[in-house]
Amino acid sequence: METKAIIKDGYTFDADLEGGRFYSPLSFKFRPLSVIERREWIDKEKKIEEDNSASKARLHAELIVKHLAEWDAGEEITIENVLALPEELFDGAFLIVIGHLLPTCAERKAAVKTRDDTAKASSDDVIKAICDFAAEMTVRSKATEDAGNKEAAELIKGAAKVALEHASIINQASSKLETLEKN
């Protein structure tokens, strides 16, 4: 039996993956990769040809097995059992172990909410800046027209109009995203 990379010092993390329509959720404890292990894994993966997906899957399974301390899958943690996981759970466990996915559903949901809140604030800031720009252009077009340069005034009015159209599009897209997120 292969030795696992788990040191009995409590340095493991809890992780979970949501179930799908045809499979149950998976919870496990794992030990994250050390810097040296991550570099070794990158080197090993580079040596496998891109078209050899079976070899990559086995390499990923070996890494998962080496770093899992326990799981609730009801079977021993072996390469064969890891390879028997539904693809979404296999990929999720692998991404968690290598540090590319937050370990718990709660952490992942909080990160998405933070990202979405930031995006909403950013879109509001962009819309405000565009509207401020359009208002400034409207004032400038009037001043330019009063100065007798009607051609330049029309160009400035056109720029203000385009800016407001873009603000409207951003606002509509932001509203649609909010509606989708609520559903």
Q: pLDDT confidence of 168, banded at 50, 70, 90?
A: confident
Three-state SS at 20: strand
- Give the model's pLDDT for residue 9: 54
The string of DSSP codes covering 53-73 is HHHHHHHHHHHHHHHEEEESS
- Give the model's pLDDT for residue 176: 76
% of the chain beyond a pLDDT of 70: 87
| Mean pLDDT, residues 54-59 | 87
Q: Is the pLDDT of residue 167 over 90?
A: no
User: Could you report the per-residue pLDDT of 103-130, keeping only the tens digit for each?
Assistant: 777 777 776 677 667 766 777 778 888 8
The amino acid occupying position 25 is P
CA angle, 30 then 81 then 98, to 5°: 35
Of 84-98, 102-116, 132-146, the one with minimum mean pLDDT is: 102-116
Q: pLDDT confidence of 183, banded at 50, 70, 90?
A: low
Report the C-alpha gap between 61 and 181 in whole angstroms: 34
| Mean pLDDT, residues 10-35 | 84
Q: Is the pLDDT of residue 43 over 50?
A: yes
The pLDDT mean for the chain works out to 81
The amino acid occupying position 162 is V
